[in-house]
Amino acid sequence: MTEISRRLLLAGAAAAPFAGWVRIADAAAPKDTAVFAKQIDDIITLDPGECYELSGIEMCTNIYDRLLRYEAEDLNKLVGGVAESWTVSPDGKTFTFKIRPNLKFQSGAPVTAEDVEFSLQRVVLMDKTSAFLLTQLGWSKTTVKDLVKGSGDTLTLKITADFAPSLVLNLMTSIVASVVEKKVALANETNGDLGNGWLKTHSASSGAFKLLAWKANESVSLEAYPGFRLGAPPLKRVVVRHVPEPASQRLLLEKADADYARDLTPDQIKPLASNPDIKVESFKAANTFYMGLNLGYEPLANPKVRQAMKMLVDYDGMVKSFLAGRFFVQQSFLPLGFFGAIEYVPFKLDVAKAKALLAEAGYKDGFAVKMAAPNVSPWTEISQSVQQTMGQAGIKVSIEPMELKAVISQYRGRGHQIAMLSWGPDYFDPHTNADSFVHNDDNSDTPKTKPIAWRNKWFIPDITKEMLAAAKELDAKKRAEQYAALQKKVTDEGPYIFMFQNNNQIARRTTATGFNPGITEDLNFYRTIRKS
């Protein structure tokens, strides 16, 4: 089977739940099933205690319920998820949650405070990539069982860190606050992994959908859970198919093999305007598209070199051409739409000024540098543009195209020179991005946590202190001012070339409605989709 025809079929395990729908390419998607064509090769795991990639977070959002939520019905209002209500102690150190009565897991077992206790504790105990979201509260492997306790219908969380209560509550809407059924996870435990190996490809949840199958680089298949607390989803199934090529996504959409195409380029979208069966919609998103510069590579450690490189990117040219409609220039670690975010665009393409800075830094003839970049659109086009403009000042960029998950893996191990990636917030508080792009209090090779600043070997203790002070500040106006100053400093001096914030342009069949993605993957709900 050729590569193209393989992608036109639901393959292997992903096809099994759909007897009668292993079909020829021209057959339409069933009316009880929503089919997405999307690039999902960044998925590494679907265990919510480990998952930290954008596509995986979107899947887990729909599979698992969380302690607190921002729901599809009002994306700006913090509400209870598994929790019915909550209180905060006067000193901001103790949080008490009442668990909703009569909630059921998809197994039929009741959702208890002990399940929530287990779910939060296991994130810390497993100590996977996303564990730092909870360990920043002062929880550790030795203390978490004392600080996170559930009994009956009451969950009590105690924190030792100094954080604004709003930050902590927003943190409980993130993926690490997903609730896993304790009994099922432990029944599938192997060598003390708390069910991690099994939960990579299975679910133990009370969310709107059950995970039927994930086949890497092929598809994710979900089945609606009729007992979900907000009611049964209108459709019985959702299938997200890995289709990296925009042209293939468009073809599937036009033939009604897919209801939604998620990664179309402007040249693929433009012809759809005349198709009465397809509608293109735009939704502001909160992903930050940037390049990480590893200061362990000698030229990049020079501040003047970094300044020069930030002037060797044709930001405006890209958003006015092949990125038109999909991106806008935003050179900050905070996306517009978040509290404290500022519109900040200090850099533009200026080859002459960049050459002068390189000469001052001792690199008048430039230097060679490797850049790891995902091997799909729009990364391919962005990396080629950067290669061309940096070359004008003598910086010889060697592009190393690879699968997104390979870029991520190299980046997490500090094995890159330049890594081109995007970053999505974990929860609705500016600390989520600030903590990642700024925080580094241990630049050794074996720190407790490995945020983005660590990955790029940027170690500035004073700026970490400024970031932590902003996280504690209770006065909203003062806190916003602190984040404004922090954004400017990180953009101007840090090891990042911030380029764009994105708009999600989604093309859909007019027969499919109700998918209105939010500013982050955490808010991309499938349970509201209907088909006519």
Average pLDDT, the chain: 92
Distance CA 244, CA 262 (A): 10
Together in a domain, 487 and 344 = yes
* pLDDT tens digits for range 191-226: 999 999 999 999 999 999 999 999 999 999 999 999
Q: What is the DSSP letter of 227?
A: T
**Residue pair 78/439 in contact by the 8 Å Cβ criterion:** no
Range of the domain at 94: 65-199
Q: Which residue is it, tokens 């490189």?
A: 309
User: Are 348 and 469 found together in one domain?
Assistant: yes
The verdict on 481 and 522 lying in the same domain is no
- List, in order, residues 6 or more apart from 270 with CB less than 8 Å away: none
CB 261 within 8 A of CB 252: yes
Tally the domains of the chain: 3
Residue 15's pLDDT band (cuts 50, 70, 90)? very low
Q: What's the confidence (pLDDT) of residue 448?
A: 83
Looking at the structure, do residues 445 and 357 belong to the same domain, yes or no?
yes
* CATH code: domain of residue 242: 3.40.190.10
Cα separation, 436 vs 471, whole angstroms: 13
My answer on whether omega of the bond before 425 falls inside 30° of 0, hence cis, is no
pLDDT at 438 over 50: yes
pLDDT tens-place string over residues 488-507: 999 999 999 999 999 989 99
**Mean pLDDT within 250-255:** 97
Instruction: Output the domain CATH number for residue 114.
Output: 3.90.76.10
Q: Are 43 and 184 members of one domain? A: no
Report residue 27's pLDDT band, with 50, 70 and 90 as the boundaries. low
pLDDT band of residue 6 (cuts 50, 70, 90) is very low
252 and 192 inside one domain: no
